[in-house]
Amino acid sequence: MRGKRISIAAALIAAATAQAQVSDGVVKIGVLNDMSSLYAEGAGQGSVVAARLAIEDFRSSAAAKGLKVELVSADNQNKADLGSSIARQWFDADGVDAVLGTGNSAVGLAVNELAKQKGKAFLATAVATSDLTGKACSPNTVHWAHDTWMLSNSTARAVVQTGGDTWFFLTADYSFGHALERDASAVVKKTGGTVVGNVRHPLNTADFSSFLLQAVGSKAKIIGLANAGNDTITAIKQGTEFGVQAAGQQFAGLLVFITDVHALGLRQAQGLLLTETFYWDANEQTRAFAKRYGAAYGGRFPNMIHAASYSATLHYLKAIAAAGTDDGTKVVAKMKEMPVDDPLHGKGRVRADGRVVTPAYLFEVKKPEESRYAGDYYKLRATVPADEAFRPESEGGCPLVKN
C-alpha cells in the first residue's frame, strides 16, 4: 500500500510539474487568417472550426494530462503589417503560445520571423511560399499542407505526364503568383512540356476577359491558374463563357480547394485539374471528420487547409504534453521528434526544415452526371508519394538542415 501511495504521489508531482511549465497554466492558440476577403472560404473560419475539433479530441485523450487549452482568432485582411501587429499583441500581452494560419504568404513570413524572435510556435497551415522551409526556415515553424514547390511539382508534372504538354499561365500579379508560375514552368519544361505564353492579372480582379482571350488564343492544351481564392473562381466562371472547354482546353489550378469547386458547381468546374493533400471522401476516417466539420460549420466540406489545421493543432498539443512545456522552440523540436499520426493524413513526419511530408493527390473534377451525392466532386488522376511531392530537404537552403 505504501508503494502504491508513493507511485500516486509521484504521478501527481509529475503532472503538477508539467502544468507549472505551461505559461499561465493555459495553452493558447491563435488562428490568424483572412476571415473576410478572397481567401476567407479557403482558410478563414473553417480553420477555427477544425482547430476546435482537434482540441476536443486532444482533451479526450490520455495525453491531455489536465492541460487547459484556449483558442482565439483574428482577421489579418491579407495585410502583413496588420497580421504582424496582431501576432505581436498576442505574443506580448495576450498569452498566445502558437499562431496557426495565415492565408497569405507575406503575413506568414512576418509571423514566422516574429515567432522566432519571441520563442513561440508558428503552425503554417495556409501559407504557400516554400521559403518557410528554405531560406526563411525557423526552428519555431512547422509547415503543413501545400507550398509553391509542391503545388507546381505535383500538378504540373502529373498533368504533363498524362498528356497536357502545352501550357499558358494566367497569373496573379504578386509574389505568390509569380512563384507558382516560375516553379510550374520549370516543371513543365523539365517534364518535356512547353510553355507557350503567360499573362498577369491584378489581385482580386473582377474582369478576366482580356486575359482569357489571350489564353484561348494561345491554343495551349492547359491553362495554368497561378492564382487562388476568388481569382481562381472568377477566372474559371468567365472561362466557361469564353469557351475554354469548347476549344478543347483544360484549366489546371495550381492552388484550388474543394471549397472553390463547391462555389463554382460541377457544370463550370468539370475537368479542372488540381492537387490537394486531403480529400474528405477518401476513406472512413476522412468522412467521419467531414461529418463532424460539416455539423459544426453549416454543412461545408473541409479542404486541405482545414485538415491541416486539425492535424497541426493535434500534433502541437501532443508535443506539449510530451515535452511538458509550451516553450515554442522546445515544442517544435518535439514535434520533429514525434511521428505524425492522425486520422486525416495517416503516418508522416516533420523534417528538420519544418516541412510536414505527406502524399499529394492530383484530382480531376467530375462531370455533373458522374457525381453520386453531395460533395462527390473528385476522381483521382495520380498519387504523388510523400518523398516526391515536396522539395528535397537538401535543395531548400534551410540552415537547419545538416548535409
Residues 192 and 272 in one domain: yes
What CATH number did the domain enclosing 52 receive?
A: 3.40.50.2300
Does some domain include residue 400? no
Q: Alpha-carbon distance 84 to 90, whole Å?
A: 10
Does some domain include residue 162? yes
Residue 4 confidence (pLDDT): 46
Residue 403 confidence (pLDDT): 67
> Which residues have a Cβ under 8 Å from the Cβ of 201 and sit 6 or more positions away?
170, 171, 172, 173, 208, 211, 227, 231
CB 192 within 8 A of CB 221: no
Residues 45 and 81 in one domain: yes
Residues 74 and 179 in one domain: no
Q: Alpha-carbon distance 372 to 382, whole Å?
A: 21
Residues 249 and 376 in one domain: yes
Residues 110 and 68 in one domain: yes
Residues 264 and 158 in one domain: yes
Residue 6 confidence (pLDDT): 41
Q: Alpha-carbon distance 233 to 389, whole Å?
A: 25
Residues 232 and 374 in one domain: yes
Residue 92 confidence (pLDDT): 97
Cα 130–Cα 378–Cα 133 angle in degrees, nearest 5: 10
CB 363 within 8 A of CB 346: no
In order along its 403 residues, the chain shows pLDDT tens digits of 444 444 444 444 344 444 447 877 899 999 999 999 878 888 999 999 999 999 999 999 888 878 899 999 999 998 899 999 999 999 999 999 999 999 888 899 999 999 999 999 999 999 988 999 999 999 999 999 999 899 888 889 888 988 999 999 999 998 788 888 988 999 999 999 999 999 999 988 999 999 999 999 999 999 999 998 889 999 999 998 888 878 889 999 899 999 899 999 999 889 888 889 999 999 999 999 999 999 999 999 999 999 999 999 999 999 999 999 999 999 999 999 999 988 898 788 999 999 999 988 989 999 999 999 999 999 998 888 888 889 999 999 999 998 6
Residues 111 and 27 in one domain: yes
Does some domain include residue 15? no
Residue 212 confidence (pLDDT): 95
Residues 244 and 376 in one domain: yes
Does some domain include residue 219? yes
Does some domain include residue 11? no
**Nearest by Cα to 176 from 200, 159, 155:** 200
* Helix H or strand E segment including 253: strand 250-253
Torsion, Cα of 30, 356, 363, 164 (10° steps): 120
φ/ψ (deg, to 5) at 147: -150, 170
Express each pLDDT in 286-344 by its tens digit.
999 999 999 999 999 999 999 999 999 999 999 999 999 999 999 999 999 999 988 89
CB 98 within 8 A of CB 328: yes
DSSP-assigned letters across all residues of 54-111? HHHHHHTSGGGTT-EEEEEEEE-TT-HHHHHHHHHHHHHHS---EEEEESSHHHHHHH
**Cell numbers representing residue 36 in the block:** 473576410
Instruction: Give how far Cα 310 sits from Cα of 205, 227, 265, Å.
Output: 32, 25, 26
Residue 86 confidence (pLDDT): 97
Residue 42 confidence (pLDDT): 86
Coil, strand or helix: which one is 28?
A: strand
Does some domain include residue 73? yes
CA end-to-end span of the chain: 54
Residues 140 and 168 in one domain: no
Residues 189 and 303 in one domain: no
Does some domain include residue 99? yes
> Which residues have a Cβ under 8 Å from the Cβ of 58 and sit 6 or more positions away?
64, 69, 313, 314, 317, 318
Residues 381 and 247 in one domain: yes
Express each pLDDT in 257-274 by its tens digit.
998 999 999 998 898 888
* Helix H or strand E segment including 169: strand 166-172
Does some domain include residue 153? yes
Number of structural domains the chain divides into: 2
Residue 104 confidence (pLDDT): 81
* Burial class of residue 2 (count of CB atoms within 10 Å of its CB; 0-12, 13-18, 19+): exposed
Q: Alpha-carbon distance 312 to 248, whole Å?
A: 40
Which domain covers residue 138, as residue numbers?
A: 23-146+282-358
